[in-house]
A and B are shown apart, each in its own frame.
Chain A
Amino acid sequence: EVQLLESGGALVQTGGSLRLSCAASGFTFSSYGMHWVRQAPGRGLEWVSSISGSGGDTYYADSVKGRLTISRDNSKNTLYLQMNSLRADDTAIYYCAKDPNYEGKKRFDFWGQGTLVSVSS
């Protein structure tokens, strides 16, 4: 059974940093691309970032480029999102999601339950 468990969400001040983690199990982690998707309170879904199975290719939404960094440790079956220079509009639930393909440029076939990031001044 595929399981994705996010952690690391917290209340942080504007301009601060945070690192989110997503522990994966139930599948061969290194064979699949992974994503981060966020949802601001009461709002819709927004794709944030994607990474290929090897970690060699990464992709970002324009709204986070240069501030958020996706990475993965295939030896630990864990996906990360390093968040720097946080702004109020980064406040959201952050979901980790699996791609059905290696490249990580498709869709989201399994999702974690999310972790809440709140950015406050």
Chain B
Amino acid sequence: EIVLTQSPGTLSLSPGERATLSCRASQGISSNALSWYQQKPGQAPRLLIYIASSRAPGIPDRFSGSGSGTDFTLTISRLEPEDFAVYYCQQYGSSLTFGGGTKVEIK
């Protein structure tokens, strides 16, 4: 099973700042089969990024994904108030697993 480790656990930033979230895999993920999701309190998750860097329909371009192999990054270029949430990475290169999440909170 591929284990995904997200860091940091919590990121404290102000609106307008840049957020950089990391997702590291225990082994290489084939075909960049990695997605990112956003979850706000009391809501279901929402797909943001798939195949490591493709934005899902309707996702603002301030969200971007990068990386390959074992190291992946989600970047939010300028945080908007609605971006404060928990973010999960998920791989589908070998079965399906999620990372533990990164909470982006208001500083």
Q: Is B97 located at the chain interface by the 8 A CB criterion?
A: yes
Question: Would you give 29 A-B contacts (Cβ < 8 Å), ordered by A?
Answer: A37-B45, A44-B98, A44-B99, A44-B100, A44-B101, A45-B39, A45-B45, A45-B88, A45-B101, A46-B98, A47-B90, A47-B97, A47-B98, A59-B96, A95-B44, A105-B96, A106-B33, A106-B92, A107-B47, A107-B50, A108-B35, A108-B45, A108-B47, A110-B47, A111-B44, A111-B46, A112-B44, A113-B43, A114-B44
Nearest opposing residue in chain A for B6, CB measure: A44
A1–B100 Cα distance when bound, in Å, is 30
> Are B100's CB and A108's CB within 8 A?
no
A11 to chain B minimum Cβ distance, whole angstroms, is: 20
B93 to chain A minimum Cβ distance, whole angstroms, is: 10
A112–B45 Cα distance when bound, in Å, is 9
User: Contacts A113-B44, A114-B44 hold; do A107 and B92 have CB atoms under 8 A apart?
Assistant: yes
Q: Is A21 located at the chain interface by the 8 A CB criterion?
A: no
A34 to chain B minimum Cβ distance, whole angstroms, is: 13
Q: Is B56 located at the chain interface by the 8 A CB criterion?
A: yes
A102 to chain B minimum Cβ distance, whole angstroms, is: 14
For A111, list chain B residues within 8 Å (CB): 44-46
Q: Is B63 located at the chain interface by the 8 A CB criterion?
A: no
A46–B92 Cα distance when bound, in Å, is 13
A47–B95 Cα distance when bound, in Å, is 9
Contact with B along A84-121 (1 / 0, CB 8 A): 00000000000100001000011111111110000000
Contact with A along B47-74 (1 / 0, CB 8 A): 1001000001000000000000000000
> Are A109's CB and B96's CB within 8 A?
no
A109–B98 Cα distance when bound, in Å, is 15
For A50, list chain B residues within 8 Å (CB): 96
> Are B44's CB and A107's CB within 8 A?
no
For B97, list chain A residues within 8 Å (CB): 47
